[in-house]
Amino acid sequence: MKVSYNWLKEYVPELPKEEKLRDVFTYHLCEVENVEKKGKDVIFDLNILPNRAHDLLSHQGIARELAGQLGLKFIDPAPKYKIPKSKPTKLEINADKTRRYMGRVVRGVKVGPSPRSLSRRLESIGQRSINNIVDAANFVMFDSGQPIHCFDWDKIKGKIFVGEAKKGDKIITLDNKEISLGEEDVVIADSLGPLAIAGVKGGKRAEVSKSTKNILIESANFFPALVRRTARRIGILTDAAKRFENDLSPWLCDPAMKEISSLFAEYGFADFEDVVDVYPFDTFKGRLLHFSAERISKILGLKISAGEIEKILQNYKYEYVRKESKFSAKGGPALGWEISVPPLRLDLEIEEDMAEEVGRVLGYDKIKPKIPNLKPGFKGSPKPGFFKPKINETFYKILWARKKLLEEGYSEVMTYTFREKGKVEVLKSASDKKFLRPNLSDGLKESYELNKINAPLLRQSEIKIFEIGTVFTSDTEQTHVAYADKKGVVEKSLDEFCKDIKITESYNELLGARSQKPEAKFKMWSLYPFIIRDISVWLPETASKKELAQILKKNVGELLVREPWLIDEYKKEGRTSYAFRLVFQAFGRTLTDEEANKIMAKIGEKMAKKGWQVR
């Protein structure tokens, strides 16, 4: 999610400079994927993890979190909202398949360009300005986290219905795509049919246009699983769907409705009707959580004082009361707390969640890794024989099979899991290879042919490769071993390949196999074609093949991508013929035959000067 530094500062005016803020994000909240300077603003691209997507996919959510983390003041925008006067409404809503649905009719709107201050905000985070109605809805979503949708009220016929689509229903979306709906899809509909796909995409029929005079504002909360299922099935992934499928709090609907109503009031719209609020699943009231400093310390493996925890509760504005807890290991009372969980924090349910929260705020780097002492006789250690880890037989067999094939001169490869044919099809695949592989052989054959072409680069006279991987049938998946050489491809199940091995009870062999490997070093390769040239030279007894190889290397220079490869050696009448294979390749361009021929001619001249005969 892209976040504007200037936007955040409206809620936390004392925010530190962007350099420090990046460290706060990285060490206490999420990964920063990119930082971009835009004029006088700085845009952070944050990778918000799923467990906090319900409250952090918004500027208010991020600002609230930063204020708590840094102990700064958060300015709540709600008191500044202009709550317009409203009058009774005739809006009727039947919402069976939603956790909350709020609707409000606003009459006498004027559709046009957005105020520059609003459109600039959206553009700073990569959003395109459309008109003042749509922009206001998008602004509220990126500000509060709650998706908002606006319909042209005059195009809606009858009562609003939120429920399952009927078999055969179709809808034209805002981007002019026709979608066939099924009974498993949830829609917003009127008496004529679907108006929008709930939580995913609006429909064309009730789209807000330049001629729109009256609108219906929707602020709703849909079941995450239903939104995700429909979005994946029809292949439409929107910012709204991303938020709904990560389980938003229904509590958000109300402040978001107030925020967009306030924006429209600032536009000069004055004819507001009452809000209709259908809230059939109000399960988020009065959640309490109990924990103690002693229990938090035990979970984290780090001594946390009551003062440290209380400071966190105060910085994050938790409502709490002190309690005498019964968690003390010594049997006596220990200081604990009962907190009222904020409605936005759906991730806080049990004391382990609170322990994670405390650890995150203090910094995971403070939690040092510690290996448990299992020596017999050590205080608190188990009796001998109590701790006997079980060997993972599959992993053991994979290690054994890999070691065996490597010792026989095979090189390991990894081929694609997705294939053009198979028994298990992937829904909504992004490519033409939409089946999970039924075997390893097909991919290994392709890899073998490619490696044959590149054999000179690999300095291999014979290609021998293998793969250990998963194959899929209609009802199961198995680990297979396949290996290929000039004789062909052989594929077996892992169990069959390892049928003669004996699982050892000692871990030393496995540990040794993992720890004694040489350190791997990466070397960049060229994407351009290579050229092969072979050269045979008669040398007198006074000259050596090492001397010949040095001359070859010196004259080819940086275009020689491999050491000269001795491919033949022949002695006759006091002389020795050495045949070397040279592989030429450039890193930034395609090498030509003419360039290779010039190099070979230069080498020939050097040989002639030394009195060596080129065959």
DSSP for 166-184?
PTT-EEEBTTS-EEE--TT
pLDDT tens across 369-428, in order? Answer: 777 665 555 555 556 555 566 778 899 899 999 999 999 989 999 999 999 888 888 876
pLDDT at residue 607, as a whole number: 87
Closest by Cα among 330, 304, 332, 334 to 322: 334
pLDDT at residue 483, as a whole number: 96
pLDDT tens across 172-212, in order? Answer: 999 999 999 999 999 999 999 999 999 999 999 999 999 99
Name the residue with tokens 């690999």.
458
pLDDT at residue 327, as a whole number: 47
pLDDT tens across 261-290, in order? Answer: 999 999 999 899 999 999 987 666 678 999
Neighbour tally for 82: CB within 10 Å: 11
Sheet holding 334-340, edge to edge: 288-292, 334-340, 319-325
Neighbour tally for 389: CB within 10 Å: 6
Pair 584, 602: CB distance under 8 Å: no
Neighbour tally for 315: CB within 10 Å: 16
pLDDT at residue 474, as a whole number: 86
Q: What are the C-alpha distances in Å from 259 to residues 3, 118, 252?
A: 19, 13, 11
**Mean pLDDT throughout 461-478?**
91
331 pLDDT above the threshold of 50 = no
pLDDT tens across 159-169, in order? Answer: 999 999 999 99
pLDDT band at residue 571, thresholds of 50, 70 and 90?
confident
Report the percent of the chain where pLDDT is more than 70.
90
pLDDT at residue 512, as a whole number: 53
Please state, in angstroms and rounded to a whole number, the distance separating the CA atoms of residues 30 and 45: 10
Neighbour tally for 10: CB within 10 Å: 16
Pair 483, 490: CB distance under 8 Å: yes
Average pLDDT taken over every residue of the chain: 88
332 pLDDT above the threshold of 60 = no
Sheet holding 418-419, edge to edge: 418-419, 435-436, 424-425
333 pLDDT above the threshold of 60 = no
Of how many residues is the chain composed? 615
Report the percent of the chain where pLDDT is more than 90.
60
Q: What are the C-alpha distances in Å from 318 to residues 283, 338, 343?
A: 20, 10, 11
| Three-state DSSP string of 501-542 | CCCCCCCHHHHHHHHCCCCCCCCCCCCCCCEEEEEEEEECCC
Strand-pairing partners, residue 93, are: 160
pLDDT at residue 121, as a whole number: 95
Pair 243, 145: CB distance under 8 Å: yes
Q: What are the C-alpha distances in Å from 349 to residues 46, 305, 339, 342?
A: 25, 22, 11, 11
Three-class secondary structure of residue 493 per DSSP: strand
Report the range of poorest mean pLDDT among 14-28, 241-255, 313-327, 432-446.
Answer: 313-327
Using DSSP bridges, classify how beta strands 435-436 and 424-425 pair: parallel, antiparallel or unpaired: antiparallel
Q: What share of the chain is helix, strand, coil (3-state, %, to 5)?
A: 35, 25, 40
**Mean pLDDT throughout 333-337?**
72
Closest by Cα among 372, 320, 314, 368 to 341: 320
How many CA atoms within 13 Å lie on the side-chain side of 278?
A: 19
pLDDT at residue 506, as a whole number: 58
Please state, in angstroms and rounded to a whole number, the distance separating the CA atoms of residues 32 and 521: 28
554 pLDDT above the threshold of 80 = yes
Q: Which is more confidently placed, 404 or 324?
A: 404
Three-class secondary structure of residue 64 per DSSP: helix
pLDDT band at residue 543, thresholds of 50, 70 and 90?
confident
Q: What is the DSSP string of 78-99?
A: GGG-----EE-----EEESS-S
- Domains of the chain: residue spans and CATH: 2-76 (3.30.56.10), 86-278 (3.50.40.10), 289-366 (3.30.56.10), 393-515 (3.30.930.10), 531-614 (3.30.70.380)
pLDDT tens across 341-373, in order? Answer: 999 999 999 999 999 999 999 998 888 877 766
516 pLDDT above the threshold of 80 = no
